[in-house]
Amino acid sequence: MRERDGAAEVALDATAFYPGGGGQPADTGSLGERSVVDAVEEEGILWHRLDGALEVGAAVTGRLDWARRFDHMQQHTGQHLLSRAFVDVAQADTTSFHLGDAIVTIDIEHAGPPADLLERVEARANEVVWEDRPVTIRWTTPEEAARLPLRKPPAVQGDLRIVELEAYDWSACGGTHVARTGQIGLIHLLGTERNKDGTRVTFVCGGRALRRLRDSGSLLRSLALAFTAGEADLPRAVARLKGDRAALERRLKPLLRDALEREAEALVAAAEQGVSWPVVAASWEGRDPSELGPLAAGITRRGAVALLFAAEHPGDPSRAHFAAPGGTISAGTLLGSLCRRHGGKGGGRPESAQGSIPADRVARALDDARAAALAGPDSELPG
Ligand SMILES: [Zn+2]
């Protein structure tokens, strides 16, 4: 027994725990009363990392978290098979493998496999799954191994542990595998993305594939319910919705423009008169901040200074949009000093500036901005 980073680690005379490696995580489970949270191999000794100490010399029963281990065996053996199918069908070697908590990835030497090629690889891999070929493990000398069609050259010296998917794939591997390819169940490709000069392929096998299909099915059913459409009609329903929305936006645009124009007119008519120009200072909650730009333009066109704030939702930081006709104040300078005082950020040119002010400072920022803009062209904040 030893202590590492505050946790007890024990070595046993025999163990079924896999220490991780080759892209596969270590096993977890229990030893007697203790949980095994990790396992690592160092210089030929397998250390079981525990959540507490065990008595040295005690006999303990080890238990693997079998559901997790079997899942790893399905994904890992599925990876051997899929990597071979990529060589077989697409002449693409696998350069690395990662077994994550939810998905599995391999990196292959192919710049961009098209969808039909991926389908053929997936189909070939699943054929071999359903042929239910035995998966055998044996130790060989380097000379024997050299006569086998290994998928990639071995990474270690000396005798090799060869994993064979009968008459299909040979790999030197120290990981854990299912006994027959049929136990992989299903190999399901999820997607690909560009990775340097090659491609990263994401997939799941066995139980993970089943859960994935179950989740996708329930998602589809809830979407179909929301659209009151059959699953097969969903693409058409979404396209119709997008079309309707685009048509509404086209109709709305001129109406909104007119409404903002009338609002600007009313705001300027009611504006306070500063040293030599009117000032419109206003803030809104629950207003789309994208309306501030056209509103401010309507205000400055009528010769007034616009100091506007809007937050989409109450409690959000407010977007500030300041605009000033030539010869009045500098909107950029005023907003800049306002932001420094009230912890916001923003700035801009003399005629137009934009920024953002924390929700709890908007009322005071508005007062300060109004006072400065009413006072004169220097647009300095009052002290
Ligand atoms: Zn393996």
**pTM (whole model) above 0.75:** no
Asked whether residue 249 is assigned to any structural domain, the reply reads no
Query: How many angstroms separate the alpha carbon of residue 300 from the centre of ligand 1?
Result: 71
82 with 221, same domain? yes
Residue 221's domain is classified under what CATH number?
A: 3.30.980.10
The residue ranges of the chain whose pLDDT is under 50 are none
Total structural domains within the chain: 3
Please check whether residue 198 is in contact with residue 98, taking contact to mean a CB–CB distance below 8 angstroms: no
CATH number for the domain spanning 57: value is 2.40.30.130
> Do residues 216 and 302 share a domain?
no
Among 16, 47, 64, the domain boundary falls at 64
Position 1 scores a pLDDT of 86
Same domain, 59 and 80: no
Burial class (CB in 10 A: 0-12, 13-18, 19+), 148: middle
Do 58 and 132 sit in the same domain of this protein?
Answer: no
- Is 351 in the same domain as 370? yes
283 shares its domain with 313: yes
Q: Are 178 and 69 in contact (CB under 8 A)?
A: no
Residue 159 alpha carbon to ligand 1 centre in Å: 16
> 45 and 76 share a domain?
no
**Ligand 1: distance of its center to the CA of 175 in Å?**
5
End of a domain among 12, 46, 64? 64
Is the domain of 260 the same as that of 167? Answer: no
Gap from CA of 161 to ligand 1 centroid (Å)? 10
Q: What is the pLDDT of residue 383?
A: 59
Q: What is the pLDDT of residue 186?
A: 98
Q: Tell me how far the alpha carbon of residue 27 lies from the centroid of ligand 1, in angstroms.
A: 15
User: What CATH number does residue 312 fall under?
Assistant: 3.10.310.40
Residue 379 has what pLDDT?
52
Tokens of 38: 């990790």
CA of 22 to the centre of ligand 1 (A): 8
For residue 188, the enclosing domain spans 69-225
Q: Are residues 84 and 51 in the same domain?
A: no
Q: How far is the CA of 73 from the centre of ligand 1 (A)?
A: 9
